[in-house]
C-alpha cells in the first residue's frame, strides 16, 4: 500500500495540520472541504484544523505532500504521520499513533485515587448487599453446599476433586 503524509498549511503563517491518507491528495483535499462545509452547518464533528480555517478563510490554505511511504497498513502510516506531527508546528490534537495499553495505563494512574475513593464509598454504602451475596448458599454438583465467599475453597477441597475425578 502506498501511503502519503500531507500537510494542510496556511500560506501566510507557519501553522498547519498533518495527516495521512492512502488516496490521492486532491481527493483527500476535496473530502476535507466537503466535511468542513458540513462542520460549519453543524452536521459533522470537528477536526483540529477547522476552527483555524474558519478564522482565516479556506482560500488561504493548501495541501502539500510531505512524503510518500510504502506501508503495510493504516497503523504503520499513522506512525509516520505522528513522526511528522512531532517535527512540525501543527494544530493536531489527536495522536494518530498511540498504543491503547499505554494510554489506559496513564488514565489508570491519573484516576487511581478518585477510583479508590469511589470504590470505598460504594463498599460502605452497600455493605449489607455485599454480605448477602457472599453468604448466599449454593449446592455443588458434588452434592455439597457452600457459600459464594468460599466457592474457590470448596472447588479445591478433596471431596470436590474426588467427585470430579469419578
Q: Tell me the pLDDT tens digit for each residue of 65-110.
A: 999 999 888 888 989 999 999 888 888 887 777 666 666 777 788 8
Domain borders along the chain are 2-98, 135-166
Helix (H, G, I), strand (E, B) or coil at 48: coil
Residue 104 has what pLDDT?
Answer: 75
Q: What CATH code would you report for 2-98?
A: 3.40.1440.10
How do 61-70 and 16-21 pair as beta strands? unpaired
Q: C-alpha angle with apex 7: 40 to 59, nearest 5 degrees?
A: 45
pLDDT tens figures, 145-165: 999 999 999 999 999 999 999
Helix (H, G, I), strand (E, B) or coil at 55: helix
Question: Which segments of 110-165 are extended strands (E)?
Answer: 137-139, 145-147
Residue 46 has what pLDDT?
Answer: 80
pTM: 0.58
Nearest to 53 by CA among 25, 31, 33: 33
Q: Who has greater pLDDT, 23 or 103?
A: 23
Residue 118 has what pLDDT?
Answer: 95
Which of the residue ranges 7-21, 30-44, 99-113, 128-142 would you say has the lowest mean pLDDT? Answer: 99-113
Q: Who has greater pLDDT, 112 or 15?
A: 112
Cell readout for 21 is 491518507
43 vs 144: CA distance, rounded Å: 62
Mean pLDDT of 6-10: 92
Nearest to 74 by CA among 30, 19, 8: 19
Amino acid at each position: 500500500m502506498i501511503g502519503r503524509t500531507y500537510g494542510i498549511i496556511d500560506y501566510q503563517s507557519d501553522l498547519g495540520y498533518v495527516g495521512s491518507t492512502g488516496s490521492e491528495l486532491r481527493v483527500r483535499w476535496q473530502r476535507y472541504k466537503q466535511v468542513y462545509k458540513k462542520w460549519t452547518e453543524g452536521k459533522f464533528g470537528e477536526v483540529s484544523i477547522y476552527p483555524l480555517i474558519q478564522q482565516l478563510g479556506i482560500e488561504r490554505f493548501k495541501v502539500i505532500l510531505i512524503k510518500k511511504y510504502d506501508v503495510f497498513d493504516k497503523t504503520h502510516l499513522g506512525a509516520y504521520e505522528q513522526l511528522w506531527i512531532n517535527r512540525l508546528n501543527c494544530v493536531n490534537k489527536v495522536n494518530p499513533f498511540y498504543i491503547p495499553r499505554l494510554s489506559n495505563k496513564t488514565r489508570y494512574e491519573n484516576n487511581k485515587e478518585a477510583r479508590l475513593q469511589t470504590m470505598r464509598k460504594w463498599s460502605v454504602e452497600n455493605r449489607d448487599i455485599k454480605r448477602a451475596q457472599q453468604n448466599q448458599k449454593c449446592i455443588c454438583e458434588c452434592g455439597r453446599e457452600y457459600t459464594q465467599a468460599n466457592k474457590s475453597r470448596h472447588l479445591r477441597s478433596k471431596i470436590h476433586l474426588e467427585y470430579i475425578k469419578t
